[in-house]
Amino acid sequence: MRFTDKIVVVTGGSQGIGRATAERMLDEGGSVAVLDADPARAQSWVSGRSDASRCAVFPCDLLDAASVDAAVAGVLERFGRIDALAQVAGGDTASADGLAEEHWLSTVDLNLHGPMRVIRACRAALVQSRGAIVLVGSVNGVAAYGEPAYAAAKAGLSLLARNLAVELGPRGVRINVVAPGTVLTRVWTERPGGADPVVKMYPLGRVGLPSDIAAAIAFLASDDAAWITGVTLPVDGGSLAGPLQLLGGPIWGEDG
């Protein structure tokens, strides 16, 4: 019950990692403000919970600063404070040309500028509460897995977190990044074959679940991580540790 009496903002909470994170925070006693571009979908699962009174849904478009500011203002009016921010919302639409102008601008706007808009809107409240920020990056922002616009934006989150860790640390605010590998969300479940083709990339023998990422977010947002800031934590089943999995195993024989 690490979030009892805590107010947690979760963006992208209608589905996938965002929903798993919001549910984890509720399960640990927190009150949760879900910010999402599809508030009806978020409300549909919130309404079915016995602890729905501790959760409120606010419409929020990360591409629109006014929408973000209005959502955060609504959170503060409803709950009076913000103790933690889990910035989950993001994504990428595959493009035949990853450097195409329109694709590049829209992807970076959603995955880098959008999180900064949320941080900026929540910053004063988090300073007041000496709170925590957790950003959801990606292994794409750590190594070359393709999708250059998405990768560049997610890599930017790590440097953003390191800079803000230095700036906000003296004011009691921590900020870290979780970098997931392949996670079994709608992006994968709707594909023919699902995520099976990429399982070989993972030494632990499976792709991730939204709950795997939610657990890491909850840790970094909690007092258990009170002396951790400016860090990017891969939660990736070992994919970054074991790139030779892509080749089917070690390239050397038993005799070295």
pLDDT recorded at residue 251:
39
**Spatial separation of the C-alpha atoms in residues 122 and 118, rounded to whole Å:** 6
Contact by Cβ (8 Å): 238, 202: yes
Q: Is residue 202 annotated as part of the catalytic site, yes or no?
A: no
Q: Report the run of H or E that residue 255 belongs to, with start and end.
A: none
**Spatial separation of the C-alpha atoms in residues 16 and 185, rounded to whole Å:** 5
Side chain identity at 52, as an amino acid letter?
A
Query: What is the SS3 assignment for 18?
Result: helix
Q: Is residue 145 annotated as part of the catalytic site, yes or no?
A: no
| Superfamily in which the 7-185+207-238 domain is placed by CATH | NAD(P)-binding Rossmann-like Domain (3.40.50.720)
Output the tens digit of pLDDT for each of the chain's 256 residues.
999 999 999 999 999 999 999 999 999 999 999 999 999 999 999 999 999 999 999 999 999 999 999 999 999 999 999 999 999 999 987 677 878 899 999 999 999 999 999 999 999 999 999 999 999 999 999 998 888 999 999 999 999 999 999 999 999 999 999 999 999 988 877 777 788 888 888 999 999 999 999 999 999 999 999 999 999 999 999 999 875 455 554 434 444 3
**Out of 145, 154, 200, 202, which one is annotated catalytic?**
154
| Paired residues of 56 in beta bridges | 33
**pTM surpassing 0.85?**
yes
pLDDT recorded at residue 252:
41
Tell me, rounded to whole angstroms, the distance of Cα 93 from its chain centroid: 17
pLDDT recorded at residue 253:
41
Nearest to 54 by CA among 36, 74, 28: 28
